[in-house]
Amino acid sequence: VEPPPQQPQPQLQIPPPTNNKIERRLSRLHVVQQSSSTNIPNTIIPTITSEPPTSIGLHGPFGQMILDYRSTLTYSPILNSNPNQQQSNQKDLRICVAVRKRPLNKREIAKKDNDVITIPNKDHCLVHVPKSKVDLTKYLDNQTFKFDYTFDEKSSNELIYRYTAAPLIDTIFNGGNATVFAYGQTGSGKTFTMGGDLQMAKTDYSHGIYAQTARDIFQRLSLPQHRSSIEIFVTFYEIYCGKVFDLLNNKKRLRVLEDQKGLVQVCDRKEQQVKSVQDVLNIIQNGMNIRTSGTTAANANSSRSHAILQIILKTSSPVSANTNAPASSSSSSRNNNHNNPAVLRRLMKEVGKMSLIDLAGSERGKDTASGDRLQRMEGSEINKSLLALKECIRALGRGDGCHVPFRGSTLTKVLRDSFIGDKSKVCMIAMVSPTHSDVENTMNTLRYADRVKELRAGDNRDV
Ligand code: ADP
Ligand code: MG
């Protein structure tokens, strides 16, 4: 390790001391080794030692190199056991980008696939890319990325929620749109994070971001200032190959239209009123079953579609349909029957919206070069939508309301509201698999997430 370069230390907030003995062991300063192509300058990271690295998930010469490298680091990851940490670190971010590393699974352990990802602290992610020189000498190309938050493989869904979606509950109760994206290759943990653990004998939706968000919204509604003035509606649909299918209505195909004012409408989308967290859980369960069952043309594997769950806050006092109410209220003006509950519901004014999106797998690049025609089409459609998404989030970051390139894909069209308005906030959780086999996809995911964040307002890093 080179001696530390002479440069000012970054302002890092260290979590307050706790009673936990391990966490109290205050650290030394440590310099993170970097290769020349990393995305941040050499950084001195003050850390708190958590626990020494183990050889679990490390095999062969590369495994030894990673173990040696890790033993030079000290650790202070965000811990499940430290619920107060977020309050002290809370940033008011318009765009928040977080990374979550999932644990190795049984198959990867059996295959002796190396764990090449290290999350040393609350906002860095290191990738140890195994390489060989021309003379076949093996070496590690260690890449460092910095994000708003990084979560290691021990992090629970509750912890991820607390740092990502939970801060956005305020946004929707203050009249804004909040949007959370789960991005990453297939198998990296997007559905686990959003929906919960679906692998166990009895599937458990209650710990996913969907359920936790619903819980917090209903809790907030029980406060005296909101009681009886706000009602909650849910929509759940998926986008496959640019087409929209309703997960609340047996995958009915929905049309997306744009009116003269540029308002995008998803026609006849079912909007279900919910009165409790359990209602939302039932919708999630039915919708996710429908999503994977495939009863229509979109019988594709769910990894090739984007799933969009929206929880919409509406005021119960009816207002005229042509105020700045949402797209969904449009068709009601013709049928101005104020005694009809269905019409009344559509006349309600939308006052806030949380959109939770489980994106299609991001690994599709190679499908465009190989595979059958359908796969190539799916792949290019997914690439197009993920590229458009990145550009729209970057436009939001620039505060560039007039130039949001939302027409680039169906996904960005239906989410247009997410990228405009002073009160809109977006959070992207980039999921990564820990293994050497997936390192190329992981690097692509981290580069994508880095680009999303790059142009944030107030962020003065070079483009
Ligand atoms: P994706 O939706 O990105 O394709 P999944 O969420 O389906 O990926 O995850 C793939 C597998 O890995 C599932 O079996 C899931 O239960 C498991 N998994 C993902 N993330 C975690 C995690 N953080 N902890 C434990 N298991 C996980
Ligand atoms: Mg999934």
Which of the ligands is closest to the CA of residue 102? 1
Query: Pick the residue with more confidence: 227 or 206?
Result: 206
Q: For ligand 1, atom 10, which residue shows the shortest CA distance?
A: 187
Q: Which bin fits 63, alpha (ψ -120 to 50), beta or left (φ > 0)? A: alpha
**Strand-pair partners of 272:** 234
Which of the ligands is closest to the CA of residue 238? 2
| C-alpha span between 100 and 148 (Å, rounded) | 12
Q: What is the CA radius of gyration of the chain?
A: 23
Query: Pick the residue with more confidence: 200 or 161?
Result: 161
191 in a labelled binding site: yes
pLDDT value of position 132: 94
| C-alpha span between 298 and 211 (Å, rounded) | 26
Q: For ligand 1, atom 14, which residue shows the shortest CA distance?
A: 199
pLDDT value of position 341: 61
pLDDT value of position 81: 80
Pocket of ligand 1 from Cβ distances under 6 Å: 102-103, 105, 184, 186-192, 197, 199, 303, 431
Closest of 197, 204, 211, 180 to residue 105, by C-alpha: 197
Average pLDDT, the chain: 80
Rounded to the nearest angstrom, the distance between the alpha carbon of 249 and the centre of ligand 1 is 27
412 in a labelled binding site: no
Pocket test for ligand 1, best of 99, 192, 209, 291 (most atoms within 8 A of CB): 192
188 in a labelled binding site: yes
Which of the ligands is closest to the CA of residue 199? 1
459 to each of 36, 37, 94, 463, how far by Cα in Å?
A: 22, 20, 11, 10
User: For the residues 381-410, what does the mean pLDDT come to?
Assistant: 90
Point out the ligand 1 atom lying closest to the alpha carbon of residue 188: 3
107 to each of 18, 104, 291, how far by Cα in Å?
A: 37, 8, 26
Where residue 342 falls among pLDDT bands split at 50, 70, 90? low
pLDDT value of position 38: 38
Q: For ligand 1, atom 17, which residue shows the shortest CA distance?
A: 189
The one-letter code for the residue type at 137 is T
Pocket test for ligand 1, best of 102, 161, 433 (most atoms within 8 A of CB): 102
In the predicted structure, residue 431 carries a pLDDT above the cut 90: yes
pLDDT in tens, 30-63: 333 333 333 333 333 434 445 656 778 899 999 9
pLDDT in tens, 1-14: 454 454 443 333 33
pLDDT value of position 201: 58
185 in a labelled binding site: yes
In the predicted structure, residue 21 carries a pLDDT above the cut 60: no
Determine which of 122-131, 347-356, 399-408 has the lowest per-residue pLDDT on average: 399-408
In the predicted structure, residue 457 carries a pLDDT above the cut 60: no
Residue 435 per-residue DSSP state? B
Contacts of 13 (CB under 8 A, 6+ apart): 88, 89
In the predicted structure, residue 340 carries a pLDDT above the cut 80: no
Closest of 74, 69, 76, 77 to residue 1, by C-alpha: 69
Point out the ligand 1 atom lying closest to the alpha carbon of residue 185: 3
Q: For ligand 1, atom 18, which residue shows the shortest CA distance?
A: 189
Rounded to the nearest angstrom, the distance between the alpha carbon of 192 and the centre of ligand 1 is 5
Highest mean pLDDT among 86-100, 235-249, 328-342, 345-359: 235-249
In the predicted structure, residue 319 carries a pLDDT above the cut 90: no
The ipTM is 0.99
Rounded to the nearest angstrom, the distance between the alpha carbon of 303 and the centre of ligand 2 is 5
Rounded to the nearest angstrom, the distance between the alpha carbon of 191 and the centre of ligand 1 is 7
Rounded to the nearest angstrom, the distance between the alpha carbon of 445 and the centre of ligand 2 is 15
User: For the residues 425-439, what does the mean pLDDT come to?
Assistant: 97
Determine which of 64-73, 149-158, 338-347, 371-380 has the lowest per-residue pLDDT on average: 338-347
Q: Which bin fits 124, alpha (ψ -120 to 50), beta or left (φ > 0)? A: beta
Where residue 85 falls among pLDDT bands split at 50, 70, 90? low
In the predicted structure, residue 296 carries a pLDDT above the cut 60: no
| C-alpha span between 265 and 141 (Å, rounded) | 48
328 in a labelled binding site: no
Determine which of 185-189, 203-207, 390-394, 438-442 has the lowest per-residue pLDDT on average: 203-207
